[in-house]
C-alpha cells in the first residue's frame, strides 16, 4: 500500500500543518504496517504554475525550452505519484485566507481531463477514486486532531478537491 504525503507550508519544521500531516502519516503507518510513504515538499521543490506554454504542450505542441520540458516532467511525476497512491495526506496551511500558491499549482497538475476527471452531462466527474471501480486509486486521509470548531474553509476546499478527483468521500 502506498501513501503520498504532501506538505506545502513555507514555515519548515515550525509549521503546524506539517506537524498535523506528520501525525496523520504516523497514524496511517500504525494502521498499515509496511506502508510505502512517498514524500513531496512543495515549498522545497515546487512544481511551476501553469502557463500558456504548459497548455500548448498539453495540446501537442513540443516545448523547445529545457526549463519548460523539466517542469512538464515534474508535473507528470506529480500526477503519477498521486495516481499510484492508495492514501493521500496533504499538509495545507492557510495564507491570506487561501491555500498556498505552490499547493494550488500542484493541484492544477493533478486536474487532467481523461486521467483524474472527465466531463459528462452531469458536469465534471472524478476518475481517480475507489468509487470509479479501482480500489488502487487514492483516497483522502483527513484528521480532526486539534480541531476545536467546524472545519475551516481550507479543509472544505481540500476535501472538495480530493473528492472531485476521486469521486470518493474522504476518510
Each residue's pLDDT tens digit, 105-127: 999 999 998 899 999 999 999 98
Q: How far is the C-alpha of 143 from the C-alpha of 127, rounded, in Å?
A: 24
Q: Over the range 115-149, which residues count as b (16 or more CB within 10 Å of their CB) and which as e?
A: ebbeeeeeeeebbbbbbbeeeebbbbbbeeeeeee
Summarised one tens digit per residue, pLDDT across range 59-93 is: 889 998 999 999 999 999 999 999 999 999 999 99
Q: Is residue 53 part of a domain?
A: yes
What DSSP element (H or E) covers 158?
A: helix 153-166
Q: Is residue 90 part of a domain?
A: yes
In this predicted structure, what is the pLDDT of residue 107? 95
Q: Is residue 171 part of a domain?
A: no
In this predicted structure, what is the pLDDT of residue 145? 41
Summarised one tens digit per residue, pLDDT across range 18-41 is: 999 999 999 999 999 999 999 999
Our measurement of the distance from residue 36's CA atom to the centroid of its chain's CA atoms, rounded to an integer in Å, reads 17
Structural domain including 62 reads 2-166
Sign of CA dihedral 92, 97, 101, 106: positive
Task: Please give the full DSSP string across 107-157, using - where no structure is assigned.
Answer: HHHH--BTTTEEEETTEEEE-SSGGGT-TTS-EE----TT--SSPPHHHHH
Cell (9 digits) for 65: 525550452
Q: Is residue 9 part of a domain?
A: yes
In this predicted structure, what is the pLDDT of residue 156? 46
Q: How many CA atoms does the CB half-sphere of 103 hold within 13 Å?
A: 22
Tell me if 139 sits within 8 A of 166, measured CB to CB. Answer: yes
* SS3 (DSSP) at 8: coil
Closest CA to 36 of 4, 2, 61, 85: 2
Closest CA to 162 of 123, 118, 116: 116
Q: Is residue 151 part of a domain?
A: yes
Our measurement of the distance from residue 112's CA atom to the centroid of its chain's CA atoms, rounded to an integer in Å, reads 12
Domain count, the chain: 1
Output the pTM of the full model. Answer: 0.77
Q: Is residue 33 part of a domain?
A: yes
- CATH of residue 87's domain is 3.40.50.360
Q: Is residue 98 part of a domain?
A: yes
Q: Is residue 88 part of a domain?
A: yes
Amino acid at each position: 500500500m502506498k501513501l503520498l504525503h504532501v506538505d506545502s507550508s513555507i514555515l519548515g519544521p515550525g509549521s503546524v500543518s506539517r506537524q498535523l500531516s506528520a501525525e496523520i502519516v504516523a497514524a496511517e503507518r500504525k494502521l498499515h504496517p509496511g506502508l510505502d510513504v512517498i514524500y513531496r515538499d512543495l515549498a522545497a521543490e515546487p512544481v511551476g504554475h501553469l502557463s500558456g506554454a504548459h497548455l500548448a504542450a498539453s495540446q501537442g505542441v513540443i516545448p523547445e525550452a529545457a526549463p519548460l520540458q523539466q517542469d512538464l516532467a515534474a508535473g507528470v511525476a506529480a500526477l503519477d505519484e498521486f495516481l499510484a497512491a492508495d492514501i493521500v495526506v496533504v499538509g495545507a496551511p492557510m495564507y491570506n485566507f487561501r491555500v498556498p500558491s505552490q499547493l494550488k499549482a500542484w493541484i492544477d497538475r493533478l486536474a487532467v481531463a481523461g486521467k483524474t476527471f472527465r466531463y459528462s452531462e452531469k458536469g465534471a466527474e472524478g476518475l481517480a477514486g475507489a468509487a470509479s471501480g479501482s480500489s488502487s486509486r487514492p483516497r483522502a486521509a483527513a484528521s480532526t486532531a486539534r480541531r476545536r470548531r467546524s472545519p475551516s474553509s481550507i479543509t472544505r476546499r481540500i476535501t472538495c478537491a480530493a473528492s472531485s478527483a476521486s469521486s470518493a468521500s474522504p476518510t
